Structure 1
Amino acid sequence: MKQYTQNRVRAMLMVALLCAVGIVRAQPPRGPLVVSPQVNADKSVTFRYLAPSASDVKLGAQFEKAPVPMTKDAQGIWSVTVGPVKPDIYPYSFSVDGITVMDPANVAFFPNERFKASLVDIPGDTPLIHSLKDVPHGSVSYEYYPSVEGTTGSLVVYTPPGYDKNPKAKYPVYYLISGTTDTEETFFKVGHTNLILDNLIAEGKAKPMVIVMPNGNIAARLAEQKGGSKPADPIGRDNPEAVKRANDFGADLTGNIIPYIEKNYRTLANRENRAIGGFSRGGGQTLRTAFSNMDKFAWVCAYSAYLSPTEMERSYSPIVTNVANTNKQLKLLWVSVGSDDFLYKGTVEFMDYLKAKNVNYKSLITDGGHTWMNVKTYVAATTPLLFQP
């Protein structure tokens, strides 16, 4: 019996050893450690990418005007140092023999339906408004809600510091919509909206609020969940299909998202305590949804977005024909754009139209283009204005 037990133990040990060897062999070979990106003390940044067999690797970054060639060392690591770079958060990627790839050494990425980019955060000597600071922090949650045609929609929801500590307190809500091909995560992961609000609330500059970040692409979700192919994005801002999709989103927001949020979060459920804002396509969705639902929103923020005078006259004429009522209802109508933004001309034309019609609005024109660096600036500028007396 003793000999049987010893033989059994030996057999079990042998099986375990063979399994361990198999696991080790199944693992991919490990190359040299790659550190990327490396932000240096002088604000220059070193990027690295392991590709021993590649013949050409370039860095593409939003702070560079053209792709930057990288150099390969004896270990097959390609690298380049650029800068110094103005402190901010920037997307970047690598072109490896003509194929665009993310940085595998970096866990920070840009959520987007179409392109895949990594993110580099270059800190300022004084912490920027989107930086992680030693202040009370709110919470970020992922939510799923019943949406159109039996589908399930997704949201990212920010609740301010202290939300869980005072179960009787209720809060205003800012519905914040990202741009074309962006997702519900983009305002959170790229825009750092949660950190911006944490910092502004800590400084007494913004009121505590709930921020709801939905995915604006209803058509893609319908296709995905019903087994179809994702439809192409419409060409043109006034394209009838683009307008239809914007209105479909507005119906989902007012008919499904707002009721879900007001059922599951402690909110002040009236128009004076609801704001809506968005970037690019999300800004167009913002304006169309707000102007169609003046009974639901008193605060409206369009970032790099506009409606044409033609569409205003055709679809939203009460906004300008009864301007006294519009100015009374809207506590804030905000329009902002970068001077190098490809939507600059249309946005300025929209501002001029509002001015000619005596519609009250606030505006901000910044340097730069259609970027999330500008979006963070707009969020930091507008949230202190929301829900103020």
Structure 2
Amino acid sequence: MKKNKALKALLICLLCLPVLVKGQPPRGPLAMSPRVNADKTVTFNYIAPNAKDVKLSGQFLTGAAAMTKNEQGMWSVTVGPVKPDIYPYNFVVDGVSVMDPANVDFFPNERFKGSLLDVKGDEPLIHALKDVPHGSVSYEYYPGVENTTGSLVVYTPPGYDKSQNKKYPVFYLISGTTDTEEDFFKVGRVNLILDNLIAEGKAKPMIIVMPNGNIEARVADQKGGLKPADPAGRESEEAITRAKNFANDLVTKVIPYVEKNYRTLPGAANRAIGGFSRGGGETLRTALGNMDKFAYVCTYSAYLSPKEMETEYKDVAGKPAVTNQKFKLFWVSVGSEDFLYKSTVEFLDYLKAHNVNYKSLITGGGHTWMNVKQYVAATAPLLFK
């Protein structure tokens, strides 16, 4: 009897085997991509046997790099050497941009999400993961404007969870157009930058709050509408209105939520605000429109026009002594190849002509997150001093 049962079980297994094998995905070549070589060249691989043309596009290239296909249908190219940093990239397959499916690191974005290349330096870069005490990063939801639910990424410094009585200053940090609340974390690596600066005694321990700068998209999404297109221009009436809507959400919703749920030090002297690109414009409009709320203002690759300064924030330049007293730091950074370079320099000239104190950093490079990491690393040590 036992023998018959064993034979029956074996027969069932054999009958099921073809089904199980058929249910498995086809096996082919394994693409390892990207692979950073010892000489800092980087090899990219992409499997597309039926594609006719595949190119590599990335901010470490001056133009797209053609890839070649082997007999197994794997497209490959080696480029570089590449300067150590973190870069977005993607493949262009028969004219269509796609992520690198072999790479789990991607660029958070409201639209196309590229992949990320991390080329490490021979000496650890400021955003490198080092053997130092690390803070924590958490995702939060808060009650926002128009009865919507907003999202935040929050960094708390090393030791925050252990010292239950200690309170900290807060740096509100805003990403750019089409970016999300994750970009300063996943692309800008602000958590690692602060971990390293704090460990070196160069920056004070602080909480960093990263909100999403696109309030209109959130409202539309949660109320069943279509996401509105971006404003026609950075100085347009719509862009200014949206920035003011963001300021309202930050001041009336985000700050109260953070100060209720985290151990924060009170008052403007313990609040900083900063942002990149659109987030930099939102930073300026929020800070200049609420000068009692922030003592530190950091704008990266952004500006306000003299016309807007004169019509919306006339007292900033009209009463420079008051402005200089309220703002302990007014920081402006931009790259010399940034498409906003000229307008940002005009903004600096306006501040200078009206005796408004500021600090600036002009770097090489363009409108990139490679530059933003430099700006964060330069400004964080100046906060809350």
**TM-score category, normalised to shorter length:** over 0.9
- Aligned partner of 1:293 among 290, 295, 299: 290
Q: Deviations over 1:80-112 (max 9, x none)?
A: 000111110011000001110000000000001
2:61 match: secondary structure? coil
Give the equivalent residue in structure 2 for 1:169. 166
- 1:177-256 to structure 2, matched below 5 A, reads 177-256=174-253
Q: Deviations over 1:356-384 (max 9, x none)?
A: 00000000000000000000000000000
Give the equivalent residue in structure 1 for 2:96. 99
- Aligned partner of 2:12 among 11, 14, 17: 14
Q: Which runs of 5+ in 2 are unaligned?
A: none
- Aligned partner of 1:324 among 321, 325, 330: 321
- Aligned partner of 2:82 among 85, 108, 113: 85
Q: Deviations over 1:201-255 (max 9, x none)?
A: 0000000000000100011111111111111001111111111111000000001
Q: How far apart are residue 168 of structure 1 and its match?
A: 0.3
Q: How far apart are residue 13 of structure 1 and its match?
A: 8.8
2:171 match: secondary structure? strand
- 1:248-287 to structure 2, matched below 5 A, reads 248-287=245-284
- Does 2:114 match 1:122? no
Deviates further, 316-325 or 275-284: 316-325
CA 1:51/1:147 → structure 2, altered by over 3 Å: closer, same or farther?
same
Q: How far apart are residue 16 of structure 1 and its match?
A: 11
- Does 2:156 match 1:159? yes
Q: How far apart are residue 115 of structure 1 and its match?
A: 2.2
Deviates further, 6-15 or 37-46: 6-15
- Does 2:347 match 1:350? yes
- Does 2:72 match 1:75? yes
2:330 match: secondary structure? strand
Give the equivalent residue in structure 2 for 1:304. 301
Q: How far apart are residue 140 of structure 1 and its match?
A: 0.4
Give the equivalent residue in structure 2 for 1:334. 331
- Does 2:29 match 1:40? no
Q: How far apart are residue 149 of structure 1 and its match?
A: 1.4
Give the equivalent residue in structure 2 for 1:150. 147
- Aligned partner of 2:368 among 363, 371, 380: 371
The 4+ residue runs of structure 1 with deviation greater than 6 A are 6-9
Mapped to 2, the partners of 1:112 and 1:191 lie a distance apart of 13
- Does 2:355 match 1:385? no
Q: TM-score, normalised by structure 1?
A: 0.95
Identical aligned residues as a percent: 71
Q: How far apart are residue 116 of structure 1 and its match?
A: 1.9
Deviates further, 275-284 or 233-242: 233-242
Mapped to 1, the partners of 2:321 and 2:315 lie a distance apart of 10
Query: Structure 2: which amino acid aligns with 1:58?
Result: K
CA 1:16/1:381 → structure 2, altered by over 3 Å: closer, same or farther?
farther
Q: How far apart are residue 341 of structure 1 and its match?
A: 0.2
Q: Deviations over 1:137-188 (max 9, x none)?
A: 0000000111111111111000000000100000000000000000000000
Q: How far apart are residue 42 of structure 1 and its match?
A: 0.6
Query: Structure 1: which amino acid aligns with 2:85?
Result: D
2:376 match: secondary structure? helix
Mapped to 2, the partners of 1:260 and 1:8 lie a distance apart of 65
Deviates further, 113-122 or 87-96: 113-122
Query: Structure 1: which amino acid aligns with 2:131?
Result: D
- How many residues matched? 385
Mapped to 1, the partners of 2:82 and 2:75 lie a distance apart of 20
Q: How far apart are residue 283 of structure 1 and its match?
A: 0.2
Q: TM-score, normalised by structure 2?
A: 0.96
| Pairwise CA RMSD | 1.8
